[in-house]
Amino acid sequence: MTSTRKVLNWIGMGLFVLLGVAATIPLFLIIIDIYSKGIDAINRLGGLWHFLTSEPPSPLSKSGGVGPPLIGTLYMTALGAIGGFALGFPLGVYIGEMRREKLANAARVGVNVLVEFPTITIGLFVYAVMGLVQDDLNRYILGPVSATLKAALGNSVFYNYVSWFVGPLDSFNAYAGAAALALVMIPYVALITASAYASVAQPLREAAYGIGGREFNALFIVMRKVVSRAVLTAALIGTAKIAGETAPLLFTAFGNNYYAPFTGSTGAVSLWIYAASETPYNVQIMSAYGAAAVLLTIILILFISARIKAIHD
Amino acid sequence: MFFIKAYPIFAREGFAMFLQTEWDPGAQKYGVLQALVGTMLTSVVAIALAMPMAIGVAVTINEVLPSRLRTIFGSLVDLTATMPTVLFGLWGFYVLGPFLQNAVNTLAGGAVMTSPSTLFTASVLLAIMVTPYAAAVIREGYALVPKAVEEAIYGVGATRLEAVLLKLRYVISYVLGGFFLALGRAMGETVAVAMVVGGNYAHLTTNLFQSGITISSLIALQFGNARFYTYAEPALFAAALLLAIFGIAINTAAIYLIQKWQP
Amino acid sequence: MTKLEAKNLQVSFGNVAVITGLNLSIPEGSITALMGPSGSGKSTLLRVFNRLIELYPEAHVGGYVYLDGQDIFEIDVIELRRRVQMIFQIPNPIPNLSIFENVALGLKLNRLAKNRKELYQRVKTALEKAQLWDEVKDRLNAPAGKLSGGQQQRLCVARSLAFEPEVLLADEPTANLDPENTAKIEALLLDLKKEMTIVLVTHFPQQAARISDYVAFLYKGQIVERGPTKDIFTKPRHELTEKYVTGRLY
């Protein structure tokens, strides 16, 4: 081999590695930036517990936190993840297992497109749907239901929770936010489930059908043995993804700085970071960094537990 | 759905709104061309920066790292994809933007970049954000190069680098697929871009180093305002419709390419 | 004269020892057939000779191999692969490259042709030697993946011959071919041994009997017996060899 070729080889490979490493450096920079400024901010704004429970600071206050947005994030993420999984998983099984069916193929293409869909358009979609159905929903379903519930609960302590959790709904509310998050998560879970199913070896599949007898049983034997890990990972990472989403919440949950009913505008940590970070007020910028540290911690916990699970298996 | 919501503006302006460059709801001006141009500019620059990095990631993982480090490095890249976009935006606004402004102005020897928040800042941030998506697709393809083909390549006396290039050529459909998926991501990304692009929705600029706007960030920044004007919300839905059509077109192209050109 | 020589060669994949202290010398200008049951280490041995074994990160090699008396692990690996070429059990042209590019690739990478004319000439000569030229001369730019299995294998032979190699390693080159294409490849190998040393791994004792000059019989990573083909088939000294050539051991 000529020496030019050798040199070219080294330069070329070195360049690839350099570029590859460059892609991951911002990650470290971001994590360091957020934790160094965020932890400092949390301390200066009144300590961790205060920060996690109190309302966001107004421009002139000296302390504050992300209590209401954090509750909103947890509530909407939980609902969104449950919804996203409850719909995404069966869809993925359908796509992965019934590969020869036309409809399943169409669903696969649809899911593939949806997973890369700009999340802001998903938020707008839910907003538009909400605008259409809100009146009817409140008049015919949520209004009567909450009236009945209130009547039934009477003087008990739960009375107030009805209007907090059930309705009637405002045009911005936590359920619209959760629905948008679920829409973000569905195709993601569906795709991973489908590819996990598709990767199940044919002999194992045949064995499962053989033992299980009926299709439905077979599906679940296969699922338990092989797919559950992949799907669990998908659920965890999918949850991490939606926990940090901002764009789909802009026009659905809208954001709120106070402890308020989920039937109206609801805060989210990501929304607060977005809103507070570019204000001219130092205390709010600090709280944005503190909130970022909280959000990052949630994401890291979800991500690492998913990875540890995956590596262990 | 979007079309219904957007109909009033189409009825009023026709499709001309996509060719007008002024957005000023107070003066009843709803042009989104400046946002369209901004979306194009930022995503093209972002992809130009992201693709080499994405290929670098795929090559580093598949060719250079020992298997144990491979998992860790891969996890880091995946984590980059999982990070909330608002955190990218926060970092982009306070760290990356000022850094780029400094670097560009030092290199150019003058105040070329007048603000830390510009189309260029958005492009660089987008590049960082979409690299893992392109990398994931390329990695998937790279792993599919059969051992027999690899042996053929090395058997004819290829160096490592030459083998890498030949293998990338072999999985070119995946490289293109990754390209389109990342492009779709870059065009649709909202919050991070809204935070660093400068929010100049009023006028058209094609200067990367000036504040600008993209379709998605226009929607994010103006939607709160839109309720107060009759045609602003329909106009934003029209912009979203355009974005959705782009998204579908690009993703369809990507899926088509990956399936059609399977090695 | 000895062209290739292995001394106390050991290869393991992870914890599994595949070749365990193997000694073998391969005479120049002849066809040496390596025979042995599945898993005896034949293909692995070939991949040591041109160091393709290094593509398998879990493989570990110990001992020595000499090419013309020179340690192959001290020869530049690309130089070595140029001199020691290989064809495979499953024909492996690079399917997305054209027929012409497949043969030209190695020459281009190694700057073996001074100009395009010489490159074309060498590709043509290689394809002619591989008896493929007449079938493909009108569609040199077609993707190699479009050729039939037998043509693909001859294309791989041409790709190797373009280097004018000193040694040709053939790893069960006819295992996936029909009888007609098998005959073509066998005739080709017989013709080629005038110019180069050939090491042929084969699963068919009859094939070894038909075209080889020497036979080495491998069992569990060691040479059990080696000698002129005729001797191995008519008066095998080792029980295992006899069992194998008479079809009682696979």
Domains of chain C (ranges plus CATH)? 2-41+51-245 (3.40.50.300)
Name the closest residue on chain C to residue A9, using Cα atoms: C109
B96/B121 Cα distance (integer angstroms): 7
- Neighbouring chains of C at 3+ CB pairs under 8 Å are A, B
Give the CA distances from residue C1 to residues A203, C34, C67, C69, C226, in Å, rounded to whole numbers and listed in that order: 52, 19, 11, 11, 16
Tell me what pLDDT residue A4 has.
87
Structurally, chain A folds into a number of domains equal to 1
Q: Which of residues 94-113 of B touch A (CB under 8 A)?
A: 94-96
A-B contacts (CB, under 8 Å): 209
Question: What confidence score (pLDDT) does residue B26 get?
Answer: 75
Is A202 within 8 Å of chain C by CB?
no
Q: Is B1 on the interface with A (CB under 8 A)?
A: yes
- Nearest Cβ partner of B77 from A23, A116, A129? A23
Torsion of Cα atoms, C176 then C178 then C184 then C188, to 10°: 20
Asked whether residue A229 is assigned to any structural domain, the reply reads yes
For residue A63, which amino acid is it? S
Peptide bond into C95 cis (omega under 30): no
Q: Give the pLDDT confidence of C87-130 residue by residue, as tens digits.
A: 999 999 999 899 999 999 999 998 888 899 999 999 999 999 99
With CB atoms and an 8 Å threshold, state whether A2 touches C111: yes
pLDDT at B201: 82
Residue scoring higher pLDDT (A255 or C246): A255
Render pLDDT for C35-84 as a digit per residue (tens, 0 to 9).
988 888 899 999 999 999 999 988 999 999 999 999 999 999 999 999 99
Evaluated on CA atoms A31, A37, A43, A46, the torsion sign reads: negative
State the average pLDDT over residues C202-230: 92
Q: Would you state the pLDDT for residue B155?
A: 92
Q: Are C78 and B157 inside 8 Å of each other by CB?
A: yes
* Predicted pLDDT of residue A225: 65
Phi, psi angles (nearest 5°) of residue B147: -55, -35
Tokens at residue B173, please?
A: 């459909």
Specify the CATH class of B2-260 in words. mainly alpha
Asked, for residue A11, whether it belongs to a domain, the answer is: no
- The ipTM assigned to this model is 0.92
Which one-letter amino acid corresponds to residue B103? A
**What's residue C176's pLDDT?**
85
Which string of b and e fits A287-311 if b means at least 16 CB within 10 Å? bbbbbbbbbbebbeebbeebbeebe
Question: Can you say whether the dihedral through the CA atoms of C55, C56, C57, C63 is positive or negative?
Answer: negative
Put simply, whether C100 touches B (Cβ < 8 Å) is: no
CATH number for the domain including A148? Answer: 1.10.3720.10
Cα separation, C235 vs B109, in Å, equals 88
* Min distance B34 CA to chain C CA atoms (Å): 42
| Chain B residues whose beta carbon lies within 8 Å of the beta carbon of residue C96 | 169-170, 172, 263
Note the residue count of chain A: 313
pLDDT digits (tens, 9 = 90+) for A35-67: 999 999 999 998 999 999 999 999 888 888 999
pLDDT at B93: 96
C-chain residues near A2 (CB < 8 A): 111
Please give the pLDDT value at position A298: 96
Instruction: Return the pLDDT at C31.
Output: 96
Which chain B residues touch A16 with a CB distance below 8 Å?
Answer: 55-56, 59-60, 63-64, 164
- From the CA of A16, how many Å to the nearest CA of chain C? 19
What's residue A30's pLDDT? 97
The residue ranges of chain B whose pLDDT is under 70 are 261-263
Residues A292 and A34 sit within 8 Å (Cβ to Cβ): yes
Q: How many CB atoms lie within 10 A of CB B8?
A: 16
Nearest Cα neighbor of B137 from B193, B103, B169, B179 is B179
Residues of chain C with pLDDT > 90: what percent?
76
User: Among candidates A68, A122, A36, which has minimal Cα distance to A296?
Assistant: A36
Q: Do C81 and B172 touch (CB under 8 A)?
A: no
Report chain B residues touching chain C, CB-CB < 8 A: 66-67, 146-159, 162, 166, 169-170, 172, 263
Write out chain C residues lying below 8 Å of B170, CB-based: 94, 96
* Cβ contact, residue pair B164, A16, below 8 Å: yes
Q: What is the DSSP letter of C30?
A: S
**Tens of pLDDT, residues B36-53:** 999 999 999 999 999 999
170-199 of A, contacting B, C-beta below 8 A: none
**What DSSP assignment string belongs to C53-96?**
GGG-TTEEEEEEEEETTEETTTS-HHHHHHHEEEE-SS----TT
- In chain B, the largest separation of any two C-alpha atoms, in whole Å, equals 70
Given a cut of 60, whether residue C173 has pLDDT beyond it is yes
Residues of A in Cβ contact (< 8 Å) with C112: none
The domain limits of chain B are: 2-260
Measuring CA to CA, which residue among C46, C25, C55, C63 is closest to residue C216?
A: C25
Task: Write out pLDDT tens, residues C122-163.
Answer: 999 999 999 999 999 999 999 999 999 899 999 999 999 999
Whether A1 has its CB under 8 Å from any CB of chain C: the answer is yes
In this prediction, the residues of chain A whose per-residue pLDDT falls under 50 are none
The count of other CB atoms within 10 Å of the CB of residue A266 is: 30
* Residue-number span of the structural domain to which A235 is assigned: 34-50+64-312
| Chain A hits for C80, Cβ within 8 Å | none
Residue in the structure block whose two tokens are 């005739």: C187
- Amino acid A66: pLDDT: 93
- Per-residue pLDDT band for C248 (boundaries 50, 70, 90) equals confident
